[in-house]
Structures are given as structure tokens and as C-alpha cells.
Structure 1
């Protein structure tokens, strides 16, 4: 539960509101289909509210749900307060500067990342976004978004680098554990100078920030549990009552997985990767050796 609604971010309010609305529905014994029938809503509208996907939430919708669920006055006031924050303030990634380049799936991830206590990320093809340099990410976006205007590429680069501020935020910096395939160290993205700068940056961040841990899965580890692709396991502060979630993305889509079985599967996979990866000190040594290669 949020103790200070006025100081909370819109992303946090959206997630907390969705979580509490779902809990109220389950406590009332109502199925989603029953609720949307009563309110003459589409099923997707209730789903978006319960998963915090809407950029802003109408207070009238919240009041209608509270009425059906029989919420007490204190709960109603708190949930309406959450909705009010989403209407009056915007997270930085939903401002006019960035919104045109933030798709729905990635917007959902940014909401979760901004609220998270810890983030576990496995990457097989490139350096994790929170550790990328501006030069490195620019090369990636230029290749991935060929034909896009240069000003859009600039926005995508700025979006990526601005995200990284979460690692150094004054109020509880994100606990970030990154595991990369050894191939990431050797694949030249851009020039050799770009790669040297990128790999040096990883070392600098990992050595300077106790909340950042980097490990490398060496080639000799053979087959491992991350061979199906990159993923994120996201955990939240206990006080929020939000369960861990998983984020996946590919060329066509970006999705958030919330079911307990899915989250457990990916959490176990990440634990397995930590076991087969080189330790943090050895991993940094591997990165330093790779710098020489470039």
C-alpha cells in the first residue's frame, strides 16, 4: 500500500490501483465477466485497469468498481486518490518528448521498472539496456530502425539513457543483476572504439555501484537455461503487495507475464544462469580481456 499518495509516481499509482482493484474483486467473489456485464464494459477495459496498463484512470470508473465490490469509505478514498494522480501527473516516458516512441508493451515495462525493487536481466545478444553507452545504443537503434527519421533515433537513445538514472536514484536505487552471454563481449556493435567504451562502462558501473552485479556465462558452460532468449524478472517492495513479474520482448511484441507458474519458471532459469555464470570478479576480468580484443 502507498503511504503517501501525493508523493507517489503515476506508474506506482497505476500498478497499486490495479492490484487493489483485483484483490477487491476476488474478495467479493465476482468473476471479471460478471463485473463487465454489470457495468456494460468490454472485458479488456477491466483487464487494463487491473494490470495498470492505462496511462490515466477515470475516477468514475474506480468509484463504480468500488460500489460493486462494497469497498469501505477509506478504501474508496485511497483508490480514487490513486486515479487522481494518474490524471494530473505524467511519468517522464509519457511526456510529449518520448511518448511517440514508446509502444504499449514497452510502456508497461517502464511502469514496472520504475516501481521495482530489483531487476534481474539475462541478455544473449547485446549489453543490457541499463548498462549501455549512448554510442552503443545509437548503433543498435540505427540498425533496428532503419529508415526512421534521425530525430526519432535521438529520442530512442535519450529514452534508453534516461532510464539508467534508476540505478543512481537517491531513494532506493534499483538492485540490478545482469547476466550476459560471453558472445555479447565479442560481438562488435559499431566501431572498436564504441566497443571499448561500452565494455569499460560496464566495469565502471559494476565497480562503483554496489546495487549493480554483472556476470558472464562463458562459452564453456555449454547448454544453459537462457538459450530460449532474453528475459527480465521484476520484483517489488514488500509494502506494495505486488507479486514478481516477467517481461519478454521480440521483434513483433513485448509482453508482461504475471502468472505464478510463468514467473517461477523464469526465476528458476535465472538462478540456474547465476550458478553456471562466472562470478562477479571473474566476469569483470573476462570483460577486461575482451576490451583488449577490440
Structure 2
């Protein structure tokens, strides 16, 4: 959690990332874009890298006009710019997009270099289509089938960040054993999902380890699912962006912890779970045995 005197960096980071990607998509250099929007090069650089002390709405509007951002999307960008000035660590939890399937976490995960996750159901990045469909359909029970399928498709597309051949995101998943026994969809869906985990965990950028029931509770508490996002370092060894701990809201606002002490605490919790988890080989063996149990 940020201090009372500091606004959250999250909206600024999301805003800067969107503007940078939009500028690059238009084929504009930072010099050209700054000149067209009547900003200084250094000023635009600070906006794109979330280093600006105070976001100016008129500058963001000028950049949106320069890049030809549609009116409805410009409105969401300006709302995000307003939230960038809010002194709240959970500001802009919905991110740039009004559709909850495109929230802030999606952009952050795509920009991350490493994700360390503890979960009690299969993480979205490793879900099969049927497993995802069963979960999404249960949560959005009043949505029409086309909307459900759109959400499933988007979830599967996001998995490219860990499966792409060029510079994939590193993923460490500490998965509680309960996920193997909590039936999502049907036994057939579970069997396919668990076999998928056993296979995809062979990728060099993915580490999957089961935290067994027999290991008890790390630190003596049930702390719940968390994802730690690391963004790598620059040529000087400095963090590109500060790390975060993310907690999915499940119908409530998503939560992000930015303070270094908070993130360190969850690194320590992950380390404790890691020390109690099965190794990768025994994890795959357990996944395959569990998968067979659903087809027996």
C-alpha cells in the first residue's frame, strides 16, 4: 500500500503503457509524437514511463487526438488519467478498459517478465478451453453463450505470453492440491486439464509444483491466492517497474499491493510454500495419477 502522500503508480503505468503502445502502433517516434502534440520529448517520455509527477488531462487529450484514438476509448483514457491523481493504492482497478475481461491485470501480466503465483484453482494462463468455459459460465451465469465464448477466447489468447517462442514470460505456479480434486465442469474436463498441466509444465519458462494437503498451512494461515508480478531490470540493473502483489476480486475490486514491504512479505510466503511443495517431477506424476482417477 502506498503512503498517504503518494498516489498509486498503477494508473500512471497503465496510462503510459497504453500511450506508448498506441504511438508505436501509429509508427511515430517519440520525437514526432511530442512535436505533433505540442509537448516536449522529455515530457512525453515521462508520461510513457509513469515518471510524471502529475498527469495533465489536456496533455493526455492532445495525445489521444494525435494518435487518432476513438472517442469512446479516449473517454476511458481520460478517466484513467484522472484516477492517476487519486491517492489510493487500489485506484483504477478496472484499468483502461470498461469491460472486465480487459482489466488492469491483463496489461500488467503482459508487461511482466516473471509471475509467481499461488492458487487453489488452475491459473487462467494454464486453463484449457473447457475448464475456462466451465468457470466463466458459472460466474457469468446470466450472460448469453456468445458472451461466454468471447470471454473464453480472450482468456486463451492471453496465454500467448507464456507460450510464445520469443521471450515468453516466466511463470512459477504453486498450486494447492485441492485444485486437483475440486471438480470444475465434469470429470472429463478435469482429466484433460490435469494432463494439460503435466505437459505444459515441461516448458523451460514454466515451473509448476503442487502444495500438498499433507504440508499443512504455510506460516500457519490460509492466505488465499496471490500473483506476484516482476517486471525485470534495465541495463543498469534497476527495476523497469516496481513489483506488485495482485489479488483477484471475484466480483469485488481487484487489489494491488505496491509497497516494497508488502511485496516482500508475499515473496516470503511464496518461499515458505515452495519449501513445502513437491518437486516438478513428483508434481507431474501426481497430476497424471489424478487425471487417471477421473477416467477410471
Is the TM-score greater than 0.5? yes
RMSD of aligned alpha carbons: 3.2
- Aligned residue in 2 for 1:280: 280
- Aligned residue in 2 for 1:102: 100
Q: Label 1:291 to 1:89 Cα distance change in 2 as closer, same or farther (>3 A).
A: farther
Q: Label 1:109 to 1:54 Cα distance change in 2 as closer, same or farther (>3 A).
A: same
TM-score by length of 2: 0.69
Q: Label 1:232 to 1:47 Cα distance change in 2 as closer, same or farther (>3 A).
A: closer
Higher helix share: 1
On the 8 A contact 1:56/1:87 being kept in 2, the answer is: no
Question: Which consecutive unaligned segments of at least 5 residues does structure 2 have?
Answer: 24-39, 50-59, 74-96
- Aligned residue in 1 for 2:43: 76
Q: Label 1:286 to 1:185 Cα distance change in 2 as closer, same or farther (>3 A).
A: same
Which aligned runs of 4 or more in structure 1 are off by greater than 4 angstroms? 46-49, 53-59, 80-87
Q: Label 1:119 to 1:47 Cα distance change in 2 as closer, same or farther (>3 A).
A: closer
Q: After TM superposition, give the deviation of residue 186 of structure 1 in Å.
A: 1.2
Aligned residues: 230
**Residue deviations 1:120-143, cap 9 Å, x none?**
11111x111111000000000111
| Larger displacement relative to structure 2 (265-274 or 74-83) | 74-83
Q: Label 1:100 to 1:193 Cα distance change in 2 as closer, same or farther (>3 A).
A: farther
- Aligned residue in 2 for 1:211: 205
Secondary structure in 1 matching 2:247: strand
Q: Label 1:100 to 1:157 Cα distance change in 2 as closer, same or farther (>3 A).
A: farther
**Residue deviations 1:218-239, cap 9 Å, x none?**
1110122472210000001201
Q: After TM superposition, give the deviation of residue 159 of structure 1 in Å.
A: 1.5
Structure 1: how far apart are the matches of 2:134 and 2:268? 33
Q: In the alignment, is residue 132 of structure 1 matched against residue 94 of structure 2?
A: no
Structure 1: how far apart are the matches of 2:127 and 2:137? 15
Structure 2: how far apart are the matches of 1:243 and 1:136? 33
- Aligned residue in 2 for 1:262: 262
Q: Label 1:221 to 1:281 Cα distance change in 2 as closer, same or farther (>3 A).
A: same
Which residue of 146, 149, 163 corresponds with 1:168? 163
Mapping for residues 1-294 of structure 1, pairs under 5 Å = 49-52=11-14, 75-79=42-46, 88=67, 101-102=99-100, 107-124=103-120, 126-207=121-202, 209-225=203-219, 227-239=222-234, 241-251=240-250, 252-294=252-294
Structure 2: how far apart are the matches of 1:184 and 1:87? 48
